[in-house]
């Protein structure tokens, strides 16, 4: 095999590239069709040395074996990490809502709400996620909810609802719920199943790196 062709093979199949095998031209111990594997290296003869997911290690020969690229391990990691982060609106008691990126995992969501999660469908491809035991744990009242839900105790967040999993809020959804929950609420009492609340201005989050102002000297 010519050196320029071997160079192209090395460039096309760097270490970590994921491949799927269609067929292998080996009559003795071929790797089964459909097996996934990871490129270890390409030697100076142009053979692609593999670490197959089933434990085999037979190499691939371009032009004799049939295979195709899935994606590199590095790209898989980047995709996985991106998929696990979603943009949500976090609402804490007595504070203004804030945009955060959280892990799209059960552990990540439980960290935000401080325990077991409960989902409340908001009927517009969004969902409110709060602590299932907020009242029992003595968490402070946060915001009231329509639709017979009463109120939410403890920190909650609002996220999008995809076909199979939670997802990031769209800019329009983010603005809708930022306005909806912009006021903090003080719980005054209960009327039936509905909380009676007083809406107040939320505590402002301090601006980062705000300069300290010296006190104005008294006038003479």
Compute CA distances 46 → 8, 19, 72, whole Å. Answer: 9, 16, 19
- By mean pLDDT, which of 15-24, 41-50, 113-122 is the weakest? 15-24
Do 31 and 56 touch, CB atoms closer than 8 A? yes
**Do the domain assignments include residue 160?**
yes
Task: Tell me what pLDDT residue 39 has.
Answer: 94
- Percentage above 90 pLDDT, the chain: 44
**Do the domain assignments include residue 63?**
yes
Same domain, 132 and 174: yes
Domain boundary among 53, 75, 97: 75
Q: What domain range is 43 assigned to?
A: 3-75
**Do the domain assignments include residue 109?**
yes
CB within 8 Å of 89: residues ≥ 6 apart: 97, 98, 99, 100, 157, 158, 159, 169, 174, 177, 178, 181
pLDDT tens profile 21-48: 877 877 777 888 778 899 999 999 999 9
Task: Tell me what pLDDT residue 165 has.
Answer: 87
- How many structural domains comprise the chain? 2
Same domain, 62 and 129: no
**Do the domain assignments include residue 209?**
no
pTM of the predicted protein model: 0.56
The C-alpha atoms of residue 50 and residue 87 are separated, in whole angstroms, by: 38
**Do the domain assignments include residue 131?**
yes
**Do the domain assignments include residue 220?**
no
CATH code of 58's domain? 2.30.30.30
If you average pLDDT over residues 78-94, what whole number do you get?
Answer: 77
The C-alpha atoms of residue 31 and residue 10 are separated, in whole angstroms, by: 22
Same domain, 113 and 183: yes
Same domain, 196 and 124: yes
Same domain, 187 and 88: yes
**Do the domain assignments include residue 90?**
yes
Same domain, 126 and 64: no
């Amino acid at each position: 095999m010519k050196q320029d062709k071997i160079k192209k093979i090395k460039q096309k199949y760097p270490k970590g590239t994921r491949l799927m095998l269609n067929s292998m031209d080996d009559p003795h111990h071929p790797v089964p069709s459909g097996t996934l594997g990871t490129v270890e290296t390409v030697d100076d003869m142009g053979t692609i040395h593999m670490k197959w997911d089933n434990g085999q290690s037979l190499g691939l020969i371009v032009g004799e074996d049939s295979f195709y690229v899935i994606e590199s391990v590095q790209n898989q990691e980047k995709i996985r990490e991106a998929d696990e982060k979603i943009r949500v609106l976090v609402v804490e008691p007595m504070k203004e809502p804030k945009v955060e990126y959280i892990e799209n995992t059960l552990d990540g969501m439980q960290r935000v709400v401080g325990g077991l999660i409960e989902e409340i469908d908001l009927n517009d491809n969004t969902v409110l996620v709060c602590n299932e035991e907020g009242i029992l744990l003595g968490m402070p009242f946060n915001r009231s909810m329509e639709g017979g839900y009463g109120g939410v105790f403890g920190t909650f967040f609002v996220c999008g609802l995809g076909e199979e999993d939670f997802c990031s809020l769209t800019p329009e959804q983010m603005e809708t719920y930022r306005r909806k929950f912009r006021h903090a609420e003080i719980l005054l009492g209960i009327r039936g199943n509905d909380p009676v609340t007083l809406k107040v201005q939320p505590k402002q989050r301090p601006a980062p790196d705000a300069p300290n102002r010296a006190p104005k000297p008294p006038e003479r």
